[in-house]
Amino acid sequence: MEVALAVVLVVGAGLFTASFVKVVRIDPGFDYRGILALGVGVRVDPANFQDAVRKGRPYVERMLEAVRAVPGVGTVAAVSGGLPLSGGRVTMLLEIPGRPALKGSDAEIDTRVVTPEYLPLLGIPLKRGRYLSADDREGTPTVALINEAAARKYFPGAEPLGQRMRFEGKERTVVGIVGDIRHEGPEIPPQQEAYVPIAQDQVVQATLVMRPAAGAAALLPSVKAAIWSVNPDQILYTDRVTLDAYMDGLIAQRRFNMALLALFGALGLVISAVGIYGVMAYIVSQRTREIGVRMALGASRGAVVRMVLASSGSLVAIGLLAGSIGAWYLAAVAKGFLFDLEARDPRAFVGAIACLALAALVATVVPARRAASVDPMIALRTE
């Protein structure tokens, strides 16, 4: 029973560990490490929203200038419409001139309003065309970038560059194709996304992003002071100020599940090994006289060791079989908690069986060697 239960625990630990490893190895499509992010924005009066819209972009631009002046801050960018990994997103109604009206989810596209530095700062790769630039300002032709997922969706078999797309009724020309990113976390596939220049759109609030060379924690006080120099009343939420923290929050549950199952699996392995050792030590002590008789009649030490190992092996084999059957049926319960992994992945079962078989062998060696060292004369005089 100890071996059978240990198989179930070790299989579960293997599955959750492999699932966690798969999650953390996924390339999100951008470099989130070391990014400091702080949200800023004007106060919104519901009775006069247009006033907030009018003030929003100049306010964000002043914040950018103030933060750029902080020594060591490096490149500073801004994004409105959802910071990656934060769960925020804004969709816009999409139309493609000259085509039938899009329907359902196809008629919406995740749209970020960004400064030109934003995409290079996060390491979102340019696939074709060009990035946004400072020349994409008010009064110039309106432009947009789309990701590869949007290019495949809306322009299958055609060249997206130069195509026209209408976002909430505002027509823009596609000037670049960028790589897909997992905006909502490593477990959510990339969605169709567009990026438009902040100078050609309206914002009320935005998130300032930067990658300080000295590290986010070291520069945070200086960045906050620069923001408050523009507006002392600006509220800053500092419970999570880095994309690393957002990523940690997204994978925290999987990390906990993996650690818990790994702990139970290790305990099951240890308890199983200790139990096997205790049982075999007891059996050897009970068969001391029998072993003495066998050795007196010519049994070799190797034969005695094999006898003890065979006795242990039969019990372990039964336990491994029962545990594997139980784990096979219980694996279906874990299916919903695994990422990109079959609940009945044979590697987890083979690994668990191999670990327990090895632990059983190690636990049996000491009693087996003790049995082989029995003095026949002493054993025969033992009642």
Please report the DSSP string for 49-118 in residue order: HHHHHHHHHHHHHHHHHHHHTSTT---EEEEES--TTTT---EEEEE-TTSPPP-GGGGEEEEEEE-TTH
Domain assignment of residue 300, yes or no: yes
10 Å Cβ neighbour count for 28? 21
Query: Dihedral of CA 337/341/346/352: which sign?
Result: negative
Residue 192 lies in a domain: yes
Q: For residue 297, is it within any domain?
A: yes
Same domain assignment for residues 48 and 12: no
Q: Name residues whose C-beta falls within 8 Å of residue 89's C-beta, 6 or more positions apart in sequence.
A: 81, 82, 110, 183, 184
Q: Are 30 and 122 in contact (CB under 8 A)?
A: yes
Domain extent, residue 288, equals 2-25+254-380
Token pair of 238, please? 């500092």
- 64 and 161 in a single domain? The answer is yes
Asked if residue 224 and residue 275 are part of one domain, the reply reads no
Tens digit of pLDDT at every position of the chain (383 positions): 878 888 888 888 888 888 888 888 888 999 999 999 999 998 887 778 788 888 999 999 999 999 999 998 989 999 999 999 998 889 999 999 988 888 888 899 999 999 999 999 999 999 999 999 999 998 899 999 999 999 999 999 899 999 999 999 899 999 999 999 999 988 889 999 999 999 999 999 999 999 988 788 888 999 999 999 999 999 998 888 999 999 998 888 888 888 887 887 788 778 777 877 777 777 766 666 666 666 666 667 677 667 777 777 788 888 888 888 888 887 777 777 777 777 778 888 888 888 888 887 877 777 677 666 655 665 555 54
Other Cβ atoms within 10 Å of 354 Cβ, number: 11
219 and 273 inside one domain: no
Alpha-carbon torsion (338, 340, 345, 350), positive or negative? negative
Among residues 241, 268, 291, which one ends one of the domains?
241
In a domain, 31, yes or no: no
- Give every CB contact of residue 365 below 8 A, 6+ residues apart in sequence: none
Mark whether 103 and 228 lie in a shared domain. Answer: yes
Answer yes or no: is 249 within a domain. no
> Which of 216, 241, 266 is at the close of a domain?
241
User: Is the same domain home to 163 and 70?
Assistant: yes
E strand or H helix that includes residue 314: helix 301-334
Q: Residues 372, 301: contact at Cβ < 8 Å?
A: yes
Q: Which of 241, 266, 286 is the last residue of a domain?
A: 241
Domain identity same for 67 and 198: yes
From CA 130, how far away is CA 145, in angstroms rounded? 8
Asked whether residue 21 falls in the same domain as residue 40, the answer is: no
Task: Tell me, yes or no, whether 102 and 182 share the same domain.
Answer: yes
DSSP 217-275: HHHHHHHHHHHHHH-TT-----S--BHHHHHHHHHHHHHHHHHHHHHHHHHHHHHHHHH
How far is Cα 301 from Cα 364, in angstroms, rounded to an integer?
15
Q: Do 58 and 193 belong to one domain?
A: yes
Sequence letter at residue 16: F
Residue 321 lies in a domain: yes
Same domain (yes/no): 78, 195: yes
Number of domains in the chain: 2
30 within a domain of the structure (yes/no): no
Q: Are 217 and 85 members of one domain? A: yes
For residue 246, tell me if it sits in a domain: no
**How many CB atoms within 10 Å of residue 95?**
17
